[in-house]
Amino acid sequence: MSEDVWSARDTSPSAIEAALRTLLSRRYQEDRTFVPARVMNLVVIVERGFRGEVENRLARVGRYHPSRLVIVAVEEGRTQLDAWATVAAEDAVHKPGHIAVGRERVEVDVGTQLLGSLDTIVDPLLVSDLTTMVWAPHGHQEGVDALRRLTNIVLIDTQDEPEPRLAFERAADLARSAYVVDLAWLRSTPWRERVAATFDPPAMRGALDSIDKVVVRHREDSTAAGVLFCGWLSTRLGWRPEALAHRGTALAGHARARRGEVALELRPEPMGSPGLGGVTITTASGDSVSLDRGPGGLRAVRHARDGEEQSWTVMGASRGEAGILGEGVRQALLRDPTYKPALEAGRVLVS
Partner 1 sequence: MSMAVAEQQEQNPLVEGLERLPVPPTALVIFGATGDLAHRKLLPALYNLAHEGALPERFKLIGVARREKGHDNFRDECRTSICEYSRRTPDDQVLDGLLGHVQYVASNFDDPDGYARLAKALDKLDQETGQPLNRAYYLSTAPEFFPVIIEQLKAAGLHRHKQADVRCVIEKPFGTDLQTARRLQKVVDSVFRERQVFRIDHYLGKETVQNVMAFRFANMMFEPVWNRNYIDHIQITGAEDIGIGTRAGYYDQAGALRDLVQNHMLQLVALTCMEPPATFEADQVRDEKVKVLTAIRPPSPDETVRAQYTAGTVGGEEAKGYLQEEGVPAGSHTETYAALALEVHNWRWAGVPIFLRTGKRLARKVTEIAVQFKPVPHLAFQSEGSVGVQPNQLILTVQPNEGVSISLGAKIPGSKMRIRPVNMEFLYGSAFMSQSPEAYERLILDAMRGDATLFTRNDEVDAQWTIIDPILQRWHATDGNGLPTYEAGTAGPAEADELLGARTWRAL
CA-to-CA distance for 67 and 64, rounded, in angstroms? 9
In the bound state with partner 1, the residue whose beta carbon lies nearer, of 146 and 227, is 227
Beta strand 40-47 with 68-75 is parallel
In the bound state with partner 1, the residue whose beta carbon lies nearer, of 116 and 296, is 296
Nearest alpha-carbon partner for 324 in 157, 193, 142, 166: 157
User: Of 37, 88, 92, 252, which lies in the binding site for partner 1, with binding defined by CB under 8 A?
Assistant: 37
Does 245 bind partner 1 (CB under 8 A)? Our answer is no
Nearest alpha-carbon partner for 198 in 339, 318, 314, 316: 314
In the bound state with partner 1, the residue whose beta carbon lies nearer, of 108 and 208, is 208
User: Of 6, 64, 135, 179, which lies in the binding site for partner 1, with binding defined by CB under 8 A?
Assistant: 64
User: Within positions 109 to 168, which residues make up the interface with partner 1, using CB under 8 A?
Assistant: none
Binding mask 184-223 for partner 1 (x = CB under 8 A): -----xx-xxxxxxxxxxxx-x--x---------------
Does 272 bind partner 1 (CB under 8 A)? Our answer is no
User: Within positions 75 to 104, which residues make up the interface with partner 1, using CB under 8 A?
Assistant: 96-99, 101
Q: Which residues are paired to 159 by β-bridges? A: none
Between the two ends of the chain, the Cα-to-Cα distance in Å is 50
Contact 82, 48 (CB under 8 A): no
Does 307 bind partner 1 (CB under 8 A)? Our answer is no
**Residues 233-262 as b or e (16 or more Cβ within 10 Å = b):** bbbbeebebbebeeeeebbebbbebeeeeb
Q: Which spans of this chain sit near partner 1 (rule: CB under 8 A)?
A: 35-39, 63-67, 96-99, 101, 189-190, 192-203, 205, 208, 233, 236-238, 295-297, 300, 302, 310, 312-317, 329-330, 333-334, 336-339
